[in-house]
Structures are given as C-alpha cells and as structure tokens.
Amino acid sequence: MKARYIIKNALASLLVIASASATSGVISNDFSDATGVTTVGSAAIVGGVGRLTTASGFQNGSIIFDATDGGIPITGFSGSFDFSLTNANGGGADGISFGLFDSAVGLSYVGNIEEEGSTTGFALGFDTWNNGAFDTSANEISLRNNGVLIQRLSITDSMFQFDQGSSYTVDLSFVGGLLDLSVTTGSTTLNVFNQLAVTGWQALDGQFYFGGRTGGANNLQVIDNVFLETQTVSTPSIAILMMFGAMAVFARRFK
C-alpha cells in the first residue's frame, strides 16, 4: 500500500471520531451546603435549598454554578431540577430563569429582568407576572438563545400556575441543538417542548445559573435537586484534531 493511501484513510476515520460528542461535566447538587455555587443578591443556600428570592418586595437573586468543563465548549446538556414559588403576596411574582451563559461575558439578564434569562447562551424563563413588553400572559415559559426569543408559551392549565405554591420538576434534554422539555407536578406531566430547534445555538464555554426576581407582588422562590450532565467535544477528540493537523502537513509532503 502506498503511504498516501494509508494516510488518506486514517484521516477519514479520525475525522469521524473527532466529530463525536462525549458526556463530560456533571452537576449534582441538593444544596445540603453551598459547595460548587456562587450566590448573588437575594440568593442564598439555606435550609437545604437554593433560595433565589424571599417572599418580599423587589428582590433580585442568582445562583451560579462553577464551570463544569474547564473551558471546553459545551455542545448540549440534559438533566432535571425542582422549583417552587410559594408564600405568594399580591398574587405572586415575578418568576425564575435557568440557563447556560457565556463565561467570557459573565451573567447579565435580558432587560435586567432575571426571569427573562441571560443575554448570552441558552435561557429558559418561568414567568409569573405580565409586565407587558416581555410577556403575553402572567404564566408562561420563554426560551431564548443569545437573548433572541425563540418561543414564548402561555400556560393556562390550573395545575401549572407556577406561583401558586406547588412543587415542579423540570426534565430537559438539549442535544444536537434540539430541546425536549417537560414539567411535572405530582403525577401530572406537561410536555412543553418536543425536539424544538434552538435557532442559532453554538457550543459554548459557559456556566449554568438560576435567576429570580420579585416586584411589589412576590414569592419565596427556591430551586433544589439540580442534576445536569453536559456534552462537549471530547478532550481526546481535540488531541485527535491536533494529530489531524500534523498528519495533513505530513501528507502534503508525500504529494
């Protein structure tokens, strides 16, 4: 066999390997202590939960998780978390967000409103007050990528009025730019997104976060039992890509 033929075939198979994703970082946090997170504003790790806001007016809080993948871009993630918005005053408000923001930029919120989610990366909002400009109802889920609105769903089901004190579990899978998301309370599950394309998504060196806000109306807003597993372009694949570069140079010498 000629050297060029061998190299050509080796390169083809290496490219296939390099394009595969690998499961990487894991967050598994029941907030028994404050390990692995940074709290901002009204947020605190208290009583075994992640509290975003107290049931009082004009609170702003964030919980930011330590980086999971050491700077390697995250291509997708899956997992679950619990949330509850209890102790409603004035009907309850304003809601919470979850997402993955760009670590290089830092965490900031669309309109400086926590429940709308981050201005960078992937952002889900669980919004419980109709503020007009950012809302179509007083109970809705929004999805943004890099601050651009992809979906905003008003939810009328009485079991899923998020600020009325029930506990909810969110299950999500975001793989290959497609999002599956459901919310469960008790034994009832609401399928929210099914293989929804998150337009514009690109792999991101990011960190997971939750945000929450109250206005005059308010809730005690807490999260718990956060489990997330990331997918990245695997570290071995990066080494293989570097080998690919070296072999390409080598192959050119045989021309």
Which residues would be at the binding site for Ca ion (CB under 5 A)?
30-31, 48, 127, 129, 131, 134-135, 224
Shortest distance in whole angstroms from residue 130 CB to Ca ion: 6
Shortest distance in whole angstroms from residue 35 CB to Ca ion: 13
Shortest distance in whole angstroms from residue 127 CB to Ca ion: 4
Which residue, 21 or 225, is less far from Ca ion as judged by CB? Answer: 225
Shortest distance in whole angstroms from residue 18 CB to Ca ion: 39
Which residue, 147 or 176, is less far from Ca ion as judged by CB? Answer: 147
Tell me which DSSP letter residue 109 carries.
B
At what angle are helices 235-253 and 3-18 packed, to 10 degrees? 160
Cα 140 from Cα 106, distance rounded (Å): 26
Instruction: Indicate the residue whose CB is closest to Ca ion.
Output: 127
Which residue, 152 or 240, is less far from Ca ion as judged by CB? Answer: 152
CB burial readout 107-129, b (16+ within 10 A) else e: bebbeebbbbbbbbbbbbbbbbb
Which residue, 109 or 134, is less far from Ca ion as judged by CB? Answer: 134
